[in-house]
Amino acid sequence: MAQGMAPAKVAETSKGKVLVDAKGMTLYTFDKDSAGKSACNGTCAQNWPPLMADASAKASGDWSPVKRDDGSMQWAYKGHPLYTWVKDTKPGDTTGDGVNNIWHVAAP
């Protein structure tokens, strides 16, 4: 990631403005995560793939890399680790919002 470049961008969806990855896929937060720590591993991470960061990623503004249980790095926004949702099939989909009342679109 270039200096000053955010790992995600903002897009307009049916849920309003949300953070999206480089492919335009909606990003989500998980209520069970704690600040700077992902609680979504194993099967959870297969359904909610983390927004991965390079090992050399550095914090910038509201963005910070967090270490996952397997040692890999994931992006967090304002301390909240970010994920995509396997059931979103095209950019702008927000089908993961409200799943089990613990998944929410990531608002900028």
pLDDT confidence of residue 35: 86
Look at residue 73 and tell me if it is in a domain: no
Domain containing residue 26: 9-51+80-105
What does each of the 108 residues of the chain score in pLDDT, given as a tens digit?
Answer: 444 568 999 999 999 999 999 999 999 999 999 989 999 999 999 999 999 999 999 999 999 999 999 999 999 999 999 999 999 999 999 999 999 999 999 999
Look at residue 30 and tell me if it is in a domain: yes
Tokens of 34: 């704690």
pLDDT confidence of residue 50: 98
pLDDT confidence of residue 83: 98
Looking at the 3D structure of the chain, how many domains does it have?
A: 1
pLDDT confidence of residue 2: 42
Look at residue 61 and tell me if it is in a domain: no
Provide the whole-model pTM: 0.93
Q: What is the 3-state secondary structure (H, E, C) of the chain?
A: CCCCCCCCEEEEECCEEEEECCCCCECEEECCCECCECCCCCHHHHHCCECEECCCCCCECCEEEEECCCCCEEEEECCEECECCCCCCCCCCCCCCCHHHCEEECCC
Look at residue 100 and tell me if it is in a domain: yes
